[in-house]
Amino acid sequence: MQTTQTTHPSSPCALVTGASRGIGAAIAEALAGEGYALYLTCRRSADRLGALADRLAAQYGVSCTPVIADMGKEEDVDRLFGLIPSLNVLVNNAGVSYIGLLHEMSADDWRQVMASNLDSLFYTCRRAVPLMLQNHSGRIVNISSVWGSVGASMETAYSASKGGVNSFTKALAKELAPSGIQVNAVACGVIDTDMNRCLTAEEVDALRSEIPADRIGQPEEAAQMVLSVLHAPAYMTGQVITLDGGWY
């Protein structure tokens, strides 16, 4: 499943994982608007991802390649990077949530959360870094969550995985700083995405009442924050930037 549009050979290239909807789709559109050639992934929503790629290619005149791949599987990531000759930006957005009591969670569910949310960063960064080293530059942005810092009841696995994302970000930033590659994370609060569709109206209202901004965030705002990180001075690296309306 690939869509390709001709773009200028000097166009920067970006990979956005989990790009078929929500924050990932908003990030893909923001990067297309900046002239990036794009590789977009998701696990299952081939039609939705293909439609997004076609629209972005037509609207912004950029190359856009959709790839169905599970970022929590090493073989899928290796296959994906077999398509990518160079890379300037990596946005690790793919992830899953699990809501439930820890003692009722299966080992398979635990491994799925960890594979999708944390193992995926290892697989993608391990392949992306050599491409970035070729130019002695690059930007990696990991999408995290406020729960990675403060934890959430009934979301122990998700919170643990995002805490791992934060530590991964800080450690890799130190490792890559001498090579001119910046690694940062955006820790989102409650954003209006399908991941939160399981919440009842009453639960959403309760969450909103705790947010000083008195509203839920939008995917486009998360995308704008990612762009801000990409445009930040190269001296900014190893940071976990919170976007939560003043919640924490």
Six token digits for residue 197? 């569709």
Per-residue pLDDT of the chain (248 residues; tens, 9 = 90+): 554 444 455 799 999 999 999 999 999 999 999 999 999 999 999 999 999 999 999 999 999 999 999 999 999 999 999 999 999 999 999 999 999 999 999 999 999 999 999 999 999 999 999 999 999 999 999 999 999 999 999 999 999 999 999 999 999 999 999 999 999 999 999 999 877 766 778 888 888 899 999 999 999 999 999 999 999 999 999 999 999 999 98
Q: Which of 36, 123, 158, 235 is catalytic?
A: 158
Which pLDDT score is estimated for 198? 67
DSSP string, 184-233: EEEEE-SBSSGGGTTS-HHHHHHHHHT-TT-S-B-HHHHHHHHHHHHHS-
Residue 170 lies in a domain: yes
The token pair at 106 is 């299966």
Q: Is residue 212 part of a domain?
A: no
Residue 22 lies in a domain: yes
- Number of C-alpha atoms within 13 angstroms, CB side, residue 178? 2
User: What integer pLDDT is reported at residue 8 of this predicted model?
Assistant: 52
Q: Does residue 211 sit within a domain?
A: no
Q: Is residue 182 part of a domain?
A: yes
pLDDT score at 199? 73
Number of domains in the chain: 1
- Please give the pLDDT value at position 7: 44
Q: What are the counts of helices (DSSP H) followed by strands (DSSP E) for the chain? A: 9, 7
Q: Which range marks the domain in which residue 22 is found?
A: 13-190+218-243
Nearest to 223 by CA among 74, 18, 6: 18
Task: Respond yes or no: is residue 158 known to be catalytic.
Answer: yes
pLDDT of residue 6: 42
Question: Is 197 contained in some domain?
Answer: no
Q: Which of 146, 142, 161, 154 is nearest to 247 (CA)?
A: 146
- Whether 5 is in a domain gets the answer no
In a domain, 85, yes or no: yes
pLDDT score of 21:
96
CATH code for the domain in which residue 26 is found: 3.40.50.720
